[in-house]
Chain A
């Protein structure tokens, strides 16, 4: 029983992060049909934000806030500089552009800061845990559950109730039509990227908080998971992204808990293998789009 609760908490905590991460990817994909490989570098930007702002004597909440803002700014600049000029290219052109942007940012960080992992100053609650009965619960796990649920609720309200949210959803269905109805494309895309950066920033704080280290490749593992969760959940809708994210969180923690010791090193391979099998059965992902427009 205790181990089950422990498992559920770990899974919800990790799954929540993955869900936010995946949402950040899908919110852009929905409009531009762009799989942003450089999304991991937004996590990296926020991670280094924690490092750089953390070395000043700012209070920690401000450090976190500034790091998230750094990720948002990076996302918007990224769109303006690299993706806007190729927006009318094929989906492939955009995909490869994002791969180039990702490599560029990682290597610039490598050059300008350091290729080595660096320790980030974090408040003490990141390493503390509380004991309840036989359970030892890490506060950071509980906090990430709360924050991810909160972020999901806020985002849902935003997408369902506000004008810009409705425009975002409309654009995901039919971008051309949305533009014809007078929605400004550049603004909408910038907003999508800003949301994407915001989510990457939130994820970065908890992700870096898990190891308290930041390195140029820090965004790799979360972005991989987000890719896979997005494909598994169905690329085109936000519900699928959340479902895919949580599913992968549960799978990952499950593999970590129940995979025999000898197989533990293979858990990446097992996870991605499972994903290939899911794709074989449902190539369009778990949640099929009601109204699908593959950009070709």
Chain B
């Protein structure tokens, strides 16, 4: 670690918060001033992705366990926010199979409380599931979260009164503005930084680095994991509510394996060990996948027009962005397994040693080549 003149944790959190929030605010202001409608939409999604990725970081980065189930909580948040925000007339249109006699049908509230309630529903479901999950380790944990993703997907596909089944829900009021998404991202970034240095966060990271040693000094590992888990899924649920009221029309297919892959990719590319990594990954992947999608459209256009560039493309391009992101992710996992930020926060111990060891791995297991 670096020399004697270390800043206090709170001062470091403040510095990192200012830098990360500053970057996000600048992105927001620039988009608002110079961007067209399309760019505003792209950046709004980017901010929602920041919320989601930081949610994942809070759990994965601090506990060292991989969750492939967070998109399920996003789905829970998205659907439950509909139950809370839509007026009875809107429900007749958007969720026509919901019986009018249900209390759910008549009751509705404003957007802000609905976001919190949506997160709350996700947290309650996640809290119950978490009781079972925190007892699992390593791969079993990840598989169980993945199983949960499938459970939620299946339920969403079939629970017609509450989700309209496999059909698309539409006519959701467009309430998530650029500023609301930015605000949520800022709150979550600061919360993630505070959590990391909080007593629970520190204990959790101790358990991540050495489970036995952490247990031996009296850390209740299951408890700290559970707390991080429900905090994390609460935010994922809230992100779902934000997304639902931004996209205004979606179906259960929007919350499944490829979406899980994208959010995990964001975190891993940026570096799961730090909130800065989550933000960096979300920004990079959101912007580059938008850019790749445009490139794909442009190339396909050329192909159908039969121009010189178009003749170089033998087949219609599909899923270009996913392929590029997957390759980028594999290269990063090989070359820099702790992600681009190496698990460090910006403005934090800038002169200290670079951390190249991924979280969840004791130093002793690392081959000498990876130790600097």
Contacts and interface: CB of A to CB of B under 8 A. Distances in A.
Interface string B186-216: 0000000000000000000000000100000
B333 A99 contact: no
B180 interface: no
Interface stretch (B73-81, B146-154, B274-282): B146-154
A86 interface: yes
A86 B65 CA distance: 17
Contacts of A89: 333, 337, 358, 361
Nearest to B157: A265
A88 B136 contact: no
A17 B82 CA distance: 41
Contacts of B150: 224, 268-269, 272
Contacts of B359: 90
A279 B138 contact: no
B144 interface: yes
A273 interface: yes
A224 B362 CA distance: 30
Contacts of B327: 104
Given A101-B330, A111-B317, A283 B323 contact: no
B136 A115 contact: no
A115 B362 CA distance: 42
Contacts of A35: 139, 142-143
Interface string A276-293: 110110010100000000
Contact of A103 (B66, B258, B315): B258
Nearest to B272: A92
B154 A266 contact: yes
A227 B143 contact: yes
Interface centre among A85, A93, A110 (most CB of B within 10 A): A93
A99 B264 contact: yes
A92 B360 contact: yes
B139 A107 contact: no
A158 B319 CA distance: 41
Given A86-B333, A86-B334, A111-B319, A228 B143 contact: yes
**Chain A interface secondary structure, helix, strand, loop or mixed?**
helix
Interface in B313-338: 315, 317-320, 322-323, 326-327, 329-330, 333-334, 337
A250 to B, nearest CB: 18
A29 B140 CA distance: 12
Contacts of A88: 365-367, 370
Nearest to A88: B367
A92 B65 CA distance: 7
A97 B330 CA distance: 6
B28 interface: no
A112 B154 contact: no
A295 interface: yes
A269 B326 CA distance: 29
B318 A93 contact: no
Contact of A112 (B135, B144, B268, B315): B315
Contacts of B157: 265
Contacts of A91: 138-139, 360
A276 B144 contact: yes
Interface in B74-105: none
Interface centre among A101, A112, A272, A294 (most CB of B within 10 A): A272
Contacts of A227: 143, 146-147
Contacts of A108: 323
Contact of A279 (B65, B132, B261, B329): B132
B40 interface: no
B268 to A, nearest CB: 6
B137 interface: yes
B258 A276 contact: no
Contacts of B257: 220
B139 to A, nearest CB: 4
Nearest to A35: B139
Given A90-B360, A101-B330, A112-B315, A279 B140 contact: yes
Given A104-B330, A265-B157, A111 B320 contact: yes
Contact of A265 (B158, B333, B362): B158
B111 interface: no
A296 B318 CA distance: 38
A100 interface: yes
Contacts of A104: 322-323, 326-327, 330
Contacts of A268: 150-151, 154
Interface string B151-174: 100110110000000000000000
A192 to B, nearest CB: 16
**6 closest Cβ pairs, A-B complex:** A104-B326, A90-B361, A107-B319, A269-B154, A280-B132, A85-B334
Interface of B: 64-66, 68, 129, 131-132, 135-140, 142-144, 146-148, 150-151, 154-155, 157-158, 211, 257-258, 261, 264-265, 268, 315, 317-320, 322-323, 326-327, 329-330, 333-334, 337, 358-362, 365-367, 370
29 contacts: A33-B138, A88-B366, A89-B358, A90-B361, A91-B138, A91-B139, A92-B64, A92-B66, A95-B66, A97-B334, A103-B258, A103-B326, A104-B326, A107-B319, A108-B323, A224-B147, A228-B143, A230-B143, A269-B154, A272-B154, A276-B148, A276-B151, A279-B132, A279-B140, A279-B144, A280-B132, A283-B135, A285-B140, A294-B138
Given A90-B361, A227-B146, 20 more contacts: A35-B142, A82-B330, A88-B367, A88-B370, A95-B66, A97-B330, A99-B261, A100-B333, A107-B319, A111-B319, A111-B323, A115-B318, A228-B143, A231-B140, A265-B154, A269-B151, A269-B155, A279-B132, A295-B138, A296-B138
Interface of A: 29, 33, 35, 82, 85-86, 88-93, 95-97, 99-101, 103-104, 107-108, 110-112, 115, 220, 224, 227-228, 230-231, 235, 265-266, 268-269, 272-273, 275-277, 279-280, 283, 285, 294-296
